Amino acid sequence: MFTNLTTTPVTRRQLLLGGATLGAAGLLSACVGSPRQQGGSGASGGTGTVTLQSSIQDADPKAALEALVAGYTGAKVTLNSVATEQFRAQLTNYLRSSNPPDVLTWYAGSVARAYAAEGLLLDVSPLWKGDGACAGYSDALRNLSTDADGKQIFVPQNYYWWSVFYKKSAFQEWGVQPPTTWDEFHALCENLSGQGVAPLANGIGSTPWMASGWFDYLDLRINGAQYHRELLAGEHSFTDPQVVDVMEEYRRLIPYFDRNMASYSAQEAATPVAQNQVAMYLVGAFATGYFPEDQREDLDFFSVPVINDSVPTAEEAPTDGFFAAARTDNPEGALDLLSYLVSPEAQQQYIEASKSSNLPTSPDVDTSSFSPLVQKGIQLLNETQEITQFFNRDSSDALQATADTALTRFLAQPDDLRSILEEWQRAAEGVFSS
């Protein structure tokens, strides 16, 4: 409201109108909040009512989660869907409120640990012990879901891999093969450019974080996962020679990108690939859902080739799932809902209904019926030595914003590299100090 007053000389009538709007908003939110409060007060006996706050917005996964929740019989679940960007901005508020949503969707890794460090997340280690729902999960997932104190605070539900996706039929048409070395990759890009095909797709317009995909992979291939994690934790400077090496390698790719990438979102960038105008797309497996249904069989992928063979192999495999608020008034209900949501049956149902290529976290899900593409993804992740999440998940949403500015500017003005990195470091220091 104060924005209104300070930006414009408003009339008295407008002010009153604004006041009335705010009042109405307050009433509305009171209405939204009330069912949960009733449920909470009646929760002492059974598992009562549980609120699930979801940031999932893509149509199929959203419907899949709704179907999953509808099948839960343990308690009455109130499912609130919030637009992802708003959810991100409000997440701290949700967790800190005195009457928080009980269970929330979000991401594993540093981003969840940061909330745990503030004491905002419920200890879910009962689910990871004995015959708990997560007891049989891989050690990698267990580590990913464990906070600095050694207790589990996250319940992973599915994950996916990043790779360079392409259409088999298009590669055949252009007479090219997926590359196995970095030199072959460059030769392939040259070849495709010569044929009038843009080699690399990307969409950094309304989804500027997509620019971090190549940054992450080049850093993983040149400096390795260890250095990458330390860099994102603030232990190295973005002006380091190691980062300059990464950016120089990135600069070599710039001529190969779709020249419209700055106008596209991640989803729009898939369209020219589907139309055989652009050849390859480094993106998460969720992107298979961006392609027309009759093209999904045609999709294949290869991992970004090795650049420096002295660093361990690494892949990005972001893990999605749930955590619960520490201040929930119904911890038993929250744990019970979490157990249900990540049970093998629920995971299988969710993945099939969401029509994505995401992988189940539970080892008990029968993956034999999943598509060959997904089988290949599982194999890729099983064979790699290191797994990272993604820039924002390995650091924080605030650091991601600094990367968005730096990398999108770099892609437009690569000659300003020095000043861009200095500006990036300044912004990152601001994030780490706050």
Partner 1 sequence: MSAALADVEPEVAPGRPPEPRRRRRGRVPLLVWVFLLVPLVVELFWVFWPAGNSFSLALTRWDGIGAAEPVGLQNFLDLAADPIFRTALVNNVVWAVGFGGLSVVVGLSLAVALNKPGPLVGLYRSAIYLPMVVSLAVTGLFWRVMYQPGGPVNAALEVVGLGSLQRQWLADPEVALGAVLVAAVWRQVGYIMVLYLAGLKSCDATLEEAAAVDGAGAWQRFWRIVMPQLRGVNMVVFAVTVIDSLRTFDIVWAMTRGGPYNETQLLSTYMFQQAFTTGNLGYASAIAVVIFALAIGFIITYLARQARTED
Which part of the chain contacts partner 1 (CB under 8 A), choosing from 13-21, 38-46, 101-109, 361-369?
Answer: 13-21
Does 255 engage in binding with partner 1 (CB under 8 A)? no
* Residue selected from 213, 408, 417, 425 as contacting partner 1 according to rule CB under 8 A: 408
Spell out where 70-161 has E strands: 76-81, 103-107, 155-159
User: Residues in contact with partner 1, total (CB under 8 A)?
Assistant: 39
Nearer to partner 1, 146 or 260 (CB): 260
Nearer to partner 1, 85 or 235 (CB): 85
Does 3 engage in binding with partner 1 (CB under 8 A)? yes
Does 433 engage in binding with partner 1 (CB under 8 A)? no
Q: Give me the least distance between CB of 303 and partner 1, in Å please.
A: 29
What is the Cα–Cα distance from 360 to 377, expressed in whole angstroms? 12
Residues 409-428 touching partner 1, rule: CB under 8 A, are 409, 412, 423
* Residue selected from 63, 245, 405, 429 as contacting partner 1 according to rule CB under 8 A: 405
Nearer to partner 1, 20 or 135 (CB): 20
- Three-state secondary structure call for residue 402: helix
The strand order across the sheet containing 198-201 reads 198-201, 278-284, 162-167, 299-302
Does 5 engage in binding with partner 1 (CB under 8 A)? yes
b/e map 381-406, b = 16+ CB within 10 Å: beebebbbbbbbbbbbbebbebbbeb
Report the Cα 416 to chain-centroid distance in Å.
Answer: 29
Q: Is the dihedral of CA 188, 192, 193, 195 positive or negative?
A: positive
The strand order across the sheet containing 76-81 reads 76-81, 49-54, 103-107, 319-324, 155-159, 359-360
Nearer to partner 1, 2 or 415 (CB): 2
Does 369 engage in binding with partner 1 (CB under 8 A)? no
Q: Give me the least distance between CB of 260 and partner 1, in Å please.
A: 4
Q: Give me the least distance between CB of 308 and partner 1, in Å please.
A: 29
Residue with tokens 């252009």: 174
Which part of the chain contacts partner 1 (CB under 8 A), choosing from 131-139, 319-327, 381-389, 396-404?
Answer: 396-404
**What stretch of H or E contains 252?**
helix 241-253
Does 434 engage in binding with partner 1 (CB under 8 A)? yes
The two structure tokens encoding residue 219: 């850093």
Nearer to partner 1, 67 or 412 (CB): 412
Alpha helices in 118-153 (DSSP H): 139-144
* Residue selected from 214, 264, 291, 391 as contacting partner 1 according to rule CB under 8 A: 264
The two structure tokens encoding residue 174: 């252009």
Q: Supply φ then ψ for residue 399, to 5 degrees.
A: -70, -35
CA nearest to 62, candidates 263, 307, 355: 355
Does 265 engage in binding with partner 1 (CB under 8 A)? no
Nearer to partner 1, 25 or 306 (CB): 25
* Residue selected from 55, 157, 202, 260 as contacting partner 1 according to rule CB under 8 A: 260
- Three-state secondary structure call for residue 225: helix
**Which x/- pattern over 84-123 shows residues binding partner 1 (rule: CB under 8 A)?**
-x---x--xx--x---------------------------
Which part of the chain contacts partner 1 (CB under 8 A), choosing from 42-50, 121-129, 156-164, 399-407?
Answer: 399-407
What is the Cα–Cα distance from 387 to 139, expressed in whole angstroms? 12
The two structure tokens encoding residue 181: 């070395």
Does 15 engage in binding with partner 1 (CB under 8 A)? yes
Nearer to partner 1, 354 or 402 (CB): 402
What is the Cα–Cα distance from 210 to 36, expressed in whole angstroms? 37
CB 269 within 8 A of CB 341: no
Does 401 engage in binding with partner 1 (CB under 8 A)? yes
Q: Give me the least distance between CB of 277 and partner 1, in Å please.
A: 10
Residues 185-244 touching partner 1, rule: CB under 8 A, are 205-206, 208
Does 7 engage in binding with partner 1 (CB under 8 A)? yes
Q: What is the DSSP string of 296-327?
A: GGGEEEEPPPPS-TTSPPEEE--EEEEEEBTT
Q: Which spans of this chain sit near partner 1 (rule: CB under 8 A)?
A: 1-9, 12, 15-16, 18-19, 22-23, 85, 89, 92-93, 96, 205-206, 208, 259-260, 262-264, 398, 401, 404-406, 408-409, 412, 423, 434
